Amino acid sequence: MANQEQLALLKQGVAVWNAWREQNLAMLPDLSGANLSGADLNKARLSDADLSDADLSDANLSDANLSRALLNRARLNRARLNRSFLIEADLSDAHLKGADLSDAHLKGADLSGADFTGAHLDNVDLSGVDFYSADFTDATGL
């Protein structure tokens, strides 16, 4: 379950969140299970955050830093993740139907069991990625 204080900070906006992260670099945010559907998280600093089981459907995560984030079982359907950093992120069993990951950096990410049906993957860095049982039906850019 998400840390309610951290979730409240994030809901105040990316500028407030990023300023808090700058002052709390050692803190590992717990946003697990949070409902962030439709949220504008453009350029958010979410590296090392626990977003497992979170609902990020239709969220704008363009240019966000999600490196090493836990996104296992997260719902990211139709999310905008273009130019985002997902280096070494755990996206196992995540739902990314129709998501836009154009120009995203996924080096070393765990995509095992993830559903990328209809996702846009143009110019994505997929080096060292674990694709085991991932579904790329109708995905573009591969």
Question: pLDDT tens, 85-115?
Answer: 999 999 999 999 999 999 999 999 999 999 9
Q: Say if residue 1's pLDDT is above 90.
A: no
Q: Which CATH number fits domain 1-142: 3.40.220.10, 2.160.20.80, 2.40.50.140, 3.40.190.10?
A: 2.160.20.80
Separation CA 106–CA 104 (nearest Å): 6
Model confidence at 127, pLDDT cuts 50, 70, 90, reads: very high
- pLDDT tens-digit map of 22-62: 999 999 999 999 999 999 999 999 999 999 999 999 999 99
Q: What are phi and psi of 4, to 5 degrees?
A: -65, -35
User: Please, how many CA atoms are within 13 Å of residue 65, restricted to the half-sphere of its CB?
Assistant: 8
Cα end-to-end span (Å), the chain:
35
Q: Residue ranges per domain, the chain?
A: 1-142
